[in-house]
Amino acid sequence: MRRSADNRNGNESASPGRALRVRNAVPLLCFGLGCAQADPLFRDSFEHPPYALNDTGVVLCGVAVDGNNDPCTGSEPQGQDRHHGRDARALAGTLIKVGAGDAGFDFSKIGNAGQTLPAGATLGTGANDWACTRDHTTGLLWEVKLNQPGHLRYQGHTYSWHDPDSGDGNPGSIGDTITCADTLAGQACNTRNFRDAVNASGLCGHNDWRLPRLGELLGLVNFQRLNPSIDASYFPNTPSLYFWSVDPAAGAASTAWSVHFDQGGASPNLRSQVFRVRLVRGP
């Protein structure tokens, strides 16, 4: 799929498969050349953000016929994404950040004990090591994955979607102990058990971690990056694969929403499938 630079306005060009478009913060699901409004749970995760929304990260310009210009030449069609919002202010040098990050994104590293760390802090398991990333735009605190096989938060572990309290009455799949290398003390590898284990560990000084809403998870996507479509300086060890959200898909009781971090697209998938999980807390 080739991206147009003005995807903020719903003009992202789409492949013949499933794609996501967002227009005025209300998502549309696009299949081929047709689009329809997403289900209410999906819309709710966008329409009631607790803080501000992140910008797209796009700082190039789409041209009229095909392709993108980076840097922009000034000859492109008007209304480019890069000319508006936090990304534009970052390019102009007028955006004040608490931390740092690509374009308009604003992140800080948080230690295992909950303290704010300098930008050069390294990822690790010690009390003074980096373990989480705070998003100053949305107010959310995010888990950061480790590249340590056998660790609870290893980037390669996968989980089935399981929520006994799911609003649609379908708890999903319990899973097995294999896909997360039996790192949950004999419990099955599913989203609920992983959440509970991280809360028991007190990651970054907190025990109220949860699965993100779909809109929250999509808020991490940097649409100018590919494979993975995220700021790897603050979210290392992010495979270009699916990550679960907490939101069931209203159109099919056996599915839930997920985000694929190759290009940042969202789609519903069977709850029995095993995907990565990135937990969040707050604000």
Residue-wise pLDDT for 19-33, tens only, equals 333 333 334 443 333
Give the model's confidence band at 65: pLDDT under 50 very low, under 70 low, under 90 confident, else very high. Answer: confident
Asked if residues 118 and 127 have their Cβ atoms less than 8 Å apart, the reply is no
Percentage of residues of the chain with pLDDT beyond 90 = 76
Confidence at residue 28, expressed as pLDDT on a 0 to 100 scale: 42
Asked if residues 160 and 171 have their Cβ atoms less than 8 Å apart, the reply is no
Asked if residues 209 and 199 have their Cβ atoms less than 8 Å apart, the reply is yes
For the segment 252-262, the average pLDDT, to the nearest whole number, is 95
β-pairing verdict for 107-111 and 130-135:
antiparallel
Confidence at residue 140, expressed as pLDDT on a 0 to 100 scale: 97
Confidence at residue 51, expressed as pLDDT on a 0 to 100 scale: 66
For the segment 61-70, the average pLDDT, to the nearest whole number, is 90
Give the model's confidence band at 231: pLDDT under 50 very low, under 70 low, under 90 confident, else very high. Answer: very high
- By C-alpha distance, which of 133, 171, 175, 176 is closest to 256? 171
Cα gap 23→27, rounded to integer Å: 6
Confidence at residue 26, expressed as pLDDT on a 0 to 100 scale: 39
pLDDT at 9 over 80: no
Residue bearing the bigger pLDDT, 280 or 37: 280
Residue bearing the bigger pLDDT, 76 or 283: 76
Give the model's confidence band at 46: pLDDT under 50 very low, under 70 low, under 90 confident, else very high. Answer: very low
